[in-house]
Amino acid sequence: MDALDPCLYPDLFAAGGLISAMELAAAKKNLDLGRLYSHYASGPGLLATAELDSSHGRASIQLGSQSRTFYVAIQGQGFAWAEGATDDLDDLIEALTAWREGISVDDFAGRFPFMMPGRLARANESGDSVPAQWNWLRTAEEFSEERPLVEAAYADGRFGHFFPTLSHGTLRLRSVRREQGSQEVSITPLSEGSYRVENPRLLDPTVVDSLREALTVASEALASNE
């Protein structure tokens, strides 16, 4: 099983893999996990990983190699709902089933203390993820170098309802709509005060000489997507 110790996971080896073991455990408890799958089309990865989808994100499960550990990450669109780890397969099954059934973030954390809610989990649950994300980027010390770009975009007034992220100095703005083809644009500072604006729907990026121009181009690109 992909270099895993059978002594750590005798139930998984007996069942033929993680997914099979999870399905058996859920059946014994009369719980509905939905469809479990793996991104590995074939090979030993099928034995050690599992994923399942829910109305509140995708859960990914991986196995520890040094100890009996089920690592769980529940991801939303650009944020983490919750992460954690347990050595108990039954606890894992119960937690995933409760999440699929729509348990609240606070109740989930209280009932399954091995799962830690993500930074934006409660904000997303209440529908306040966009202002919470802007506030984080504007105040967190780790983004001090990008602060002028973030503050300028926030103060501009045309991007407040877009979800902002920072990566390697680039500010990305995307709509929070879940349907395919939602709006997105990125602004990247270049040398000597210039900026590059990119839109996934455009083949060529636009380079301008000032941040003010970059914000205008970004706003026009987002408007054209609509």
pLDDT of residue 102: 94
Name the least confident of 48-62, 111-125, 178-192: 178-192
Residue 100 has pLDDT above 90, yes or no: yes
Residue 2 has pLDDT above 70, yes or no: no
CA dist 63 and 49 (Å) reads 7
- Averaged pLDDT, 115-133: 89
pLDDT of residue 40: 61
pLDDT of residue 29: 96
Q: Which residue has the higher pLDDT, 137 or 44?
A: 137
pLDDT of residue 165: 92
What are 14-51's pLDDT values in tens digits?
A: 998 899 999 999 999 999 999 999 866 445 445 678 99
Percent of the chain, pLDDT > 90?
68
- Averaged pLDDT, 106-120: 95
Q: Which residue has the higher pLDDT, 16 or 152?
A: 152
Residue 52 has pLDDT above 50, yes or no: yes
Domain chopping of the chain, boundaries: 10-124, 128-225
pLDDT of residue 181: 54
- Contacts (Cβ under 8 Å, ≥6 apart) of 46: 17, 19, 38, 40
- Averaged pLDDT, 89-101: 97
Tell me whether strands 184-189 and 70-75 are parallel, antiparallel or unpaired.
unpaired
Neighbours of 38 (CB within 10 A): 19
pLDDT of residue 127: 82
Q: Which residue has the higher pLDDT, 39 or 66?
A: 66
Average model confidence (pLDDT) across the chain: 89
| Confidence at 124, pLDDT banded by 50, 70, 90 | confident
pLDDT of residue 166: 92
Residue 163 has pLDDT above 70, yes or no: yes
- Averaged pLDDT, 135-152: 93
